[in-house]
Amino acid sequence: MVTAVIIVVCFIVVGLARSALQWLVAWVLGARPLHLIVGIGPALVRRDVGGTPFEIRAVPLGGHVQWGDTPYVVPAPGPWGARLALALSGPLATVILSFFLLFGLHVSFQARTVDGRPVATNVVALPLNTAVAAGIRPGDVITQIDGQSVEFYDEITALVGRSGGRALQVTVQRPPPGTQSIDDHIRGTLSGRSLLGPNVTDAWSELALSVQPDPTPQGYALGLEPRAGRFGTDRWLPALEFAGAELGASLVELLGPRPGPLTIMPTTEAWWGPLFHLLAQVALMAFIVNLALPAHDLHRLFLLAFEAVFRRPLKPAPELALVRLEVLIVLALIVAWIARDVVRLLNG
């Protein structure tokens, strides 16, 4: 029940953002909005905001802005380019909202934790004690312990803990001299999600070192402090790239014939991190739903395309027939999706 309420609230927020951007576009174009609507169906709330009627309707799927000199004129008044800008502003608003939510998440909440502990890649941030004496340097990437491949720092600590204090043969990859920074790329996965690690190239050298573990109250340690594994970085450009990648993966998952795993997804223990991520997914769902709804976004874009090609608007009677065809297509898609899910359920 709580989840359903949260999702409904998310749809309302997305509808408000959509209508707000459409209102802004109308204002930039010099048009006075005649009607601001959030959702579809019967109106639950009606208010007058600055002389413009504002409604929140029963089904919180998107919304729209009616504008011009006379309400509900067919065709809508105004230059063709202005009407195209207004028609595009609705679907673009939901995609833009989703993108910037994901961008904020990838900038702010990228570190992974397991049971409250940071999960680290095998990049050595700061060697300590015997690791320094053994020749390990900051930036070295540990790839093997006693011939066993390691990818995460937890694997390293587990092997060292079972060593009994004997000297370990550690294989490291070392960046070329003069390397100022290490570029990250996707390296390894944890719980089906990707972690960033160093981009090890052929220019890196491989060294085999003998390292004596240090005794500690908790057991044996290798004298290393790793860099925390992350899904992104605090740099804006990589965060933009990750947000774009997750946006594309989410659309493929929502539109594809079968769900697929999202390869990149930031997580956080803070309650509002998952909430923002849910809001981003809801925005994408609203984008798809509003494209599919009869007489909505895709319908308006088709009418504008028709007008551009034939130099005249579509008449009301053919438009009504088009809306009826759209209803039939939507119903057919719903039946097809339900049948697909039933077949999957029966096939286990």
Residue spans per domain, the chain? 1-110+246-307, 113-228, 315-348
The yes-or-no verdict on residue 91 having pLDDT over 80 is: yes
pLDDT in tens, 92-144: 889 999 998 888 876 665 444 444 445 566 666 567 767 888 888 877 888 88
**Distance of alpha carbon 248 from alpha carbon 8, whole angstroms:** 24
Question: Which stretch of DSSP H or E encloses residue 96?
Answer: helix 80-108
Burial environment of residue 210 by CB neighbours within 10 A (0 to 12, 13 to 18, 19 or more)? exposed
Q: What's the mean pLDDT when you consider all of the chain?
A: 75
> Per-residue pLDDT tens for 141-171?
888 899 988 877 778 888 888 888 888 999 9
Is the pLDDT confidence value at 318 over 80? yes
- Reference 250, options 101, 109, 148; nearest CA is 101
> Which long-range CB contacts under 8 A does 74-80 form with residues at least 24 apart?
74/313, 74/316, 74/319, 75/303, 75/307, 75/313, 75/314, 78/29, 78/31, 80/304, 80/307, 80/308
Rounded Cα gap, residues 226 and 124, in angstroms: 5
Q: Would you say residue 60 has pLDDT above 70?
A: no
Q: Number of helices and strands (H, E) in the chain?
A: 8, 14
DSSP 202: T
Instruction: Specify whether the CB–CB gap between 210 and 134 falls below 8 A.
Output: yes
Helical pair 272-292 and 236-255, crossing angle rounded to 10 deg: 50
Confidence of residue 186 (pLDDT cuts 50, 70, 90): low
Encoded tokens for 250: 């989410």
What integer pLDDT is reported at residue 297 of this predicted model? 84
Most confident listed range (70-74, 136-140, 198-202, 344-348) = 136-140
Tokens of 213: 């573990």
**Which uninterrupted H or E stretch holds 46?**
strand 33-49
What average pLDDT does the segment 215-242 reach?
Answer: 67
What pLDDT, on the 0 to 100 scale, is given for residue 208? Answer: 92
Q: 148-152, 203-207, 320-324: lowest mean pLDDT where? A: 148-152
Distance of CA 310 to the CA centre of its chain: 39
Q: Fill in the amino acid letter for 3.
A: T
- Cα separation of the two ends of the chain: 27
Question: Which of the residue ranges 23-37, 94-108, 112-126, 184-198 would you say has the lowest mean pLDDT?
Answer: 112-126
CATH match of 113-228 with 2.30.42.10:
yes
Q: Is 131 exposed, middle or buried (0-12, 13-18, 19+ CB in 10 A)?
A: buried
Mean pLDDT of 175-200: 66
